């Protein structure tokens, strides 16, 4: 079925679409059209190869080289 990587995306996007359908039923569909896309963008699975430590190391290295 769905892998663990895609499960949060499927769940949150499904919830956002359901909320959008509810608001559309009450006449506010166009005002909330951004909701499913915004939620899907936030929940999109990312490759976790680059950790925060790796990014900070790269920034420190660039800062030292620029001196």
Residue 29 in this model has a pLDDT that exceeds 90: no
Kindly report, residue by residue over 8-24, the tens digit of the pLDDT.
888 888 998 999 999 99
pTM metric for this prediction = 0.58
Residues 6+ apart with CB under 8 A from 48: none
Rg (CA), the chain: 19
pLDDT tier for residue 26 given thresholds of 50, 70 and 90? very high
Q: Please check whether residue 1 lies inside any domain of the structure.
A: no
Residue 35 lies in domain: 7-66
CA pair distance 13, 21, nearest whole angstrom: 12
Q: Please check whether residue 24 lies inside any domain of the structure.
A: yes
CA pair distance 67, 63, nearest whole angstrom: 7
Q: How many domains does the chain have?
A: 1
61, 37 in Cβ contact below 8 A? no
Please give the pLDDT value at position 3: 60
Structure tokens at 1: 């079925």
């Amino acid at each position: 079925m769905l892998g663990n990587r895609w499960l949060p995306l499927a769940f949150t996007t499904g919830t956002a679409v359901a909320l959008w359908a509810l608001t559309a039923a009450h006449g506010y569909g166009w005002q909330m059209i951004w909701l499913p896309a915004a939620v899907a963008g936030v929940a999109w699975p990312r490759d976790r190869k680059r950790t925060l430590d790796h990014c900070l190391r790269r920034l420190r290295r660039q800062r030292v080289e620029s001196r």
